[in-house]
Homo-oligomer: A and B are copies of this chain.
Amino acid sequence: MRVGIVGCGLIGGKRAKSLAALGHTVAATADISLERAQALAKAYPGCDAVGGWRELVARADLDTVVVATINDSLASITLAAVEAGKHVLVEKPAARSAEELRPVESAAQQAGVTVRVGFNHRFHPALLKARELVDAGAVGPLMFVRGRYGHGGRVGYDREWRANPELAGGGELLDQGVHLIDLTRWFLGDVSRVSGFAGTFFWDMPVEDNGFLCTHHADGSVGWLHASCSEWKNLFCLEIYGKTGKLQVDGLGGSYGLERLAYYRMLPQMGPPETTIWEYPGEDGSWNAEFRAFEAAVAGRQGSGATLGDAVAALDVVAAVYAQSAGDGRRAA
């Protein structure tokens, strides 16, 4: 593929590296800072840093666009790229709201292009393995999922773009919580009802720093999820309960700790379960794995990547929690 990257920050750089590793051509870059676009372009022979994203999506020599900007431009750039006939990989949450994203979904369908959303957590090795075990029936029919995800921010976090509702569209629930929602939907299916609470406990900012929610799914299963940016020790944990066993994913590498998957298999005599644990001390391979799934989707094969529909559904859940929290949810720090 010949790929253009819009948004040349941390994530844009990771995507470029992954694209090159997979044999694709990073052909053009764009960023609100031309300097940043040029810095990234320089690392990839033949890559042009262009003046802006409009110019980039219009280029005839690209078949694919990666959109890795901050939240406020994700949807509009994706829409323009889709209308220009490009396949798009857009970073999560793909938009500030479901309202913003629905038109993109329609446009993509009309244009006949493939759009996938960068819910890369699905592609972490522990989660891929968990999914494989669930699909193989290793824990039986699923009952509920428990998710905890959070970080401790950093000095001045409440002055960054993520604390600005205009730029971010929401707070922690939209930022990290949306990963939990996506993973829960990935395992339990569509959300039929949600109850939750978004509150601001610590940071001096007009978006929530904690989101608590309970998702109900068609088959009666439940998601019990909490995302926090006042989680002083970085944490990721997803526990998946079936009628014959449990899977637990801990860590995402780096400051989130060693990634591992524990499989607890209930025995006929019950009592302590049979326990197997896999650890993943290596580098984060989720970016490559996700892009391979994107390639497959472009080639018309079904894959495990998140669609625009998945992102719309996750954003609907976020919006429902915000609506329920309107009265009392957001309190002063």
* Chain A residues in the interface with B (C-beta under 8 A): 143-144, 146, 148, 152-155, 195, 197, 199, 201-202, 210, 212, 214, 220-222, 224, 226, 228, 230-233, 241, 243, 245-246, 255, 264, 266, 269-273, 275-282, 331
Contact = CB atoms under 8 A, between A and B. Distances in A.
Copies in the complex: 4
Contacts of A214: 197, 212, 214
Which of A155, A232, A233, A243 has most chain B Cβ within 10 Å? A232
A222 B212 contact: yes
Contacts of A233: 246, 264, 272-273, 275, 281
Contacts of A275: 233, 278-281
Contact of A278 (B269, B276, B279, B282): B276
B272 A255 contact: yes
B270 A154 contact: yes
Given A220-B331, A275-B278, 11 more contacts: A143-B201, A143-B210, A152-B271, A195-B197, A212-B214, A230-B243, A233-B264, A233-B273, A233-B275, A275-B279, A277-B279
Contact of A270 (B152, B195, B226): B152
Contacts of A246: 231-233
Which has the most chain B C-beta neighbours within 10 Å: A146, A224, A226? Answer: A224
B272 A210 contact: no
Contacts of A226: 146, 224
A232 B271 CA distance: 8
B273 A281 contact: yes
11 contacts: A143-B201, A144-B201, A152-B266, A154-B271, A201-B220, A201-B243, A220-B331, A232-B241, A233-B273, A276-B276, A277-B279
Given A270-B155, A276-B276, A143 B281 contact: no
Report the 3 A-B pairs with minimum CB-CB distance, sorted nearest first.
A272-B281, A275-B279, A277-B277
